[in-house]
Structure 1
């Protein structure tokens, strides 16, 4: 006798075991996350088989753990033809049961955290909470600080009051030659930030930040690699807007090209950030501060088309959602970068880079060629430091030519 669990899932017999009463709710949860009917059927069926196995083993619902799922997968591999998604399906099931409060969260074995790691974590919290720095900045700074503390104290007590200038200089001299110039400069910036932090806390009295050596570098060594206006037009024209994914990708690429947003700013954009009446979009920049930018008509039209005809049904407040289950917002800026890379490859465009940042450089270059000042460009791109925008002065070749003195005797 067949048993209906969900309108799209029918089992060959009634479910048994400790999970039998939760299969319908599990199916609804999978459906809400955007999984296909085929995937939902496979996940519910293996959940039913797992529940039957648990009954045979005498395992009650409150005792279920992921270790039981591993043991069942081994059993299944010996007696049943396994499927590629079996492990993921059982992982989804365990997570669902925990979220419902049916299965308790497993306690992980506590391990001794080295003092240097505790200090590095406290510094990371300071950067996030007190300094409101972007997550990417914290991720870049903390590993250098962790290495510095391990260099000075190993796994022992991190007695910061014992730090001296020779420790700072020795660490930089040891690691800087092994790093690319940009990474070396990032390392010294992170060290200065950390040493100012420990002085602020009172752990050290000396201004050790001043002891961090300066990494030699030429001012503005390279011209920003910007995608050209023609390449951008070609890329946008190549997007198939007849599909939901195409509507999404087109809107994202327009945001990058027209507003020069960072990939993370696009990934974390929320529905409430768009003021349709005022024609504005609120963007959270690297420092955590918001800036209001005008929403060009073509960008607004592209976003509206995606929201109406391409965006999957979801409770998420993110503007742009993943196309594959589980349906949710992008996890971070890497998702936008991957979208840009694949779009460029499909269009056969030999762009300066494969990343999203070239659109910011492209916008700045176009603004400069149309007479915009560096301060105006910095305001649009959300630069806090004018020196960041100054690098674009190198690409204004036409303006630089007007400053050149004529060759004595005229042109020959």
Structure 2
């Protein structure tokens, strides 16, 4: 037997070979089957199970039972693991998966929010959210964004006793908040901050909390005027496709994504939410769902061939999304994931960073460059209003040249 050196680093605290603690064996067995169902590899599942077994052993040491699993307990466990001389490196990587399993299985109790414990400002924000949800029909994602950028305005008119003094709210306080909140951000986010504040003020006026309309006095963020849409050159699109290896699953998926975005002008979220049932192979059509609306697009031959190549290599997934993750959990890609694929491909191609929405611009600009009309571009992009599509008229150089008055002539 080889003798261990006295100067060698000590082993991290090891878990026993036979799992112990309140999670063994039933909860650990359920977790193992959950990981297998999500498509995790044997090595990844072993690392995840190691963290679960450590949690079970730690719960036995602190006297916690299965009925006492809550978020605060998991935070204490992670802190205890980090405080060791040789912390387990996989705890931070796999505690999220363990938390999702415990929540889905009903073991992790979520803290119930008691509305009676809200401060006046928190209650006002909750009522504002309900108004946006019920009266304006906004999605939860949009509501969260409005709250993130606009709810802080109430702090400026909250008294020391916690009450919201709406009478103190005037244009100077609003503009000071907009300026301070938007200082770390660029033009686009500053415009979102102004929009969020305007929404909050409209709610306060419509519900009688404020008696003056302050929206006209809010400063406009500098440079928020919409600029010319930026497309992607044909050489750059070819470079993106060149780094996709169609012989591999991830390469076939990425190639199909690029072609679908640049040929059909889909948004990243629309591509992510595309389902297998949305493809009508018999009629060569594609049903696209985005921003609460549906429209049908023809399926070009090259896009259809790329989709077919990807679907032949597509791994078994947990849902019927067309574009899924190639790593566990194999499920629908997110909007940021789709845009991240395009950014990664642009890095591999050695060109400037490109994101998914620029490919959407390219699709609209290609329609106009080929002699199409704004109405055709509108149908492709799925816009409800023509005025939204009119921004692409700025890049229709062929049509703009016809409007230019020759030098020395008087306009008629």
TM interval, short-chain normalised: 0.7 to 0.9
2:383 is matched with 383
The 8 Å contact of residues 192 and 210 in structure 1, kept in 2 or not, is answered as: no
1-structure distance, mates of 2:402, 2:75: 73
Which residue of the partner structure matches residue 197 of structure 1? Answer: 203
State the shift of 1:343 in Å: 0.4
Matches within 5 A, 1:12-91: 14-22=18-26, 23-48=28-53, 50-51=55-56, 54=59, 59-63=64-68, 65-66=73-74, 69-70=77-78, 73=81, 77=84, 82-89=87-94
Q: 1:56: how far off?
A: 6.2
Alpha-carbon separation, structure 2, partners of 1:92 and 1:170? 42
Q: What is the root-mean-square deviation of aligned Cα atoms in Å?
A: 3.6
Residues 147-186 of structure 1 aligned to structure 2 (within 5 Å): 147-153=152-158, 156-160=162-166, 163-164=169-170, 167-168=173-174, 171=177, 180-186=186-192
Pairwise CA distance, 1:364: 1.5
Aligned partners of 2:345, 2:281: CA distance in 1, in Å?
A: 28
**Structure 1 residues 376, 29: CA separation in 2 closer, same or farther (over 3 Å shift)?**
same
C-alpha change, 1:154 and 1:36, in structure 2 (3 Å) is farther
Task: Name the CA shift for 1:203/1:376 in 2 (closer, same or farther; >3 Å).
Answer: farther
Aligned residue for 1:282, secondary structure, equals: strand
Provide the rounded CA distance (Å) in 2 between the counterparts of 1:61 and 1:170.
Answer: 50
Deviation at 1:256, TM superposition (A): 1.0
Contact 2:38 2:318 in 1 (8 A): no
Cα distance in structure 1, aligned partners of 2:63 and 2:55: 12
Compared CA separation, residues 198 and 275, structure 1 to 2 (3 A): farther
2:325 pairs, out of 316, 322, 325, with 322
**Does 1:304 find its partner at 2:308?**
yes
138-147 vs 315-324, greater mean Cα deviation: 138-147
TM-score, reference length from structure 2: 0.79
Aligned match of 2:341: 339
Taking structure 1 as reference, are residues 138 and 48 closer, same or farther at Cα in structure 2, changes over 3 Å only?
A: closer
Give the distance between the partners of 2:284 and 2:308, measured in 1 at CA: 12
- CA-to-partner distance for each residue in 1:138-177, whole Å, 9 max, x for gaps? 4543334213222233673235466455654665577678
Please give the alpha-carbon distance, in whole angstroms, between the structure 2 residues aligned to 1:92 and 1:169: 43
Distance 1:94 1:185, change over 3 A: closer
Tell me the CA shift for residue 313 of structure 1. 1.9
CA distance in 1, matches of 2:111, 2:182: 41
Which stretch of the first structure deviates more once superposed, 169-178 or 222-231?
169-178
What residue in structure 2 maps to residue 7 of structure 1? none
Pairwise mapping of residues 196-275 of structure 1 onto structure 2 (< 5 A)? 196-214=202-220, 220=226, 222-275=227-280
SS of residue in 2 equivalent to 1:339: helix
CA distance in 1, matches of 2:172, 2:326: 53
Match of 1:401 in 2: 401
Q: 1:12 to 1:121 in 2, by over 3 A?
A: closer
State the secondary structure of the residue aligned to 1:357.
helix
- 2:137 corresponds to 1:123: no
**Secondary structure of the structure 2 residue equivalent to 1:223:** coil
Greater mean alpha carbon deviation, residues 357-366 or residues 135-144 = 135-144
| Aligned residue pairs, count | 389
Change (3 A) 1:215 1:35: closer
TM-score (normalised: structure 1)? 0.79
Say if 1:71 and 1:186 are closer, same or farther in 2 by CA, change over 3 A: closer
Where does residue 8 of structure 1 map in the other structure?
none
CA contact (8 A) 1:283 1:293 kept: yes
CA contact (8 A) 1:120 1:145 kept: no
1:51-81 Cα distance to aligned partner (Å, 9 max, x none): 4565566654434542674476369x45xx6
Contact 2:246–2:309 at 8 Å: present in 1 too?
Answer: no
Question: Does the Cα contact within 8 Å between 2:204 and 2:210 map onto a contact in 1?
Answer: yes
* 1:262 Cα deviation after fit: 1.4
Pair 1:302–1:167, CA change in 2 (3 A) = same
Unaligned runs of 5+ in 1: 1-10
Q: Assess, with a 3 A threshold, how the Cα gap between structure 1 residues 157 and 384 changes in structure 2: closer, same or farther.
A: farther
